[in-house]
Each structure stands twice: as structure tokens, then as C-alpha cells.
Amino acid sequence: MTTTKKTNKVLVAHEDRRTGGVGAEIVARIGELAFEWLDAPVRRVCAHDVPLPFAPTLEDLSCRRRAT
């Protein structure tokens, strides 16, 4: 929470999907514990909000990857 108090902004990046992912829990905790220090809503960078396929080729298509 020290960085939240210092910058007044939070960005959570994770590879899970948006709904029900670990990032959602982190954002909820930050909202509960550091709401008074936030100047803007907590932002998330995450995978598309779709069910994760089992096939590796389809999994690669559903996850955001950095351009190489």
C-alpha cells in the first residue's frame, strides 16, 4: 500500500482472464484498503474474458502476448 499512497494510482497486470482471476481479488483488496488514496480507478491489463481453451495452439491465440 506504500506505493499506492505515494503514486495515488494502481495498475494490475496478470495473464489470467478478467472475471474471476487473481487480479480481480487484488483489485478488490486495494479498493478496500487504499480507496481514500486513489485518484483514479484501479486499472487491469489481463487476458481476454473468454474460457481458456485446453489446446495449446488455441491457448496461444486467447492470451495476449508481447509482439516480437
- The CATH number linked to 15 is 3.40.50.920
Residue 36 lies in a domain: yes
Q: How many domains, in total, are found in the chain?
A: 1
Q: CA 24 to CA 6: how far, in whole Å?
A: 22
Residue recorded with cell 478488490: 28
Residue 52 lies in a domain: yes
Per-residue model confidence as pLDDT tens digits over 22-60? 888 999 999 999 999 999 999 998 877 877 778 888 877
Per-residue model confidence as pLDDT tens digits over 8-23? 999 999 887 888 888 8
Residue 42 lies in a domain: yes
Residue recorded with cell 491457448: 59
Domain range holding 30? 2-62
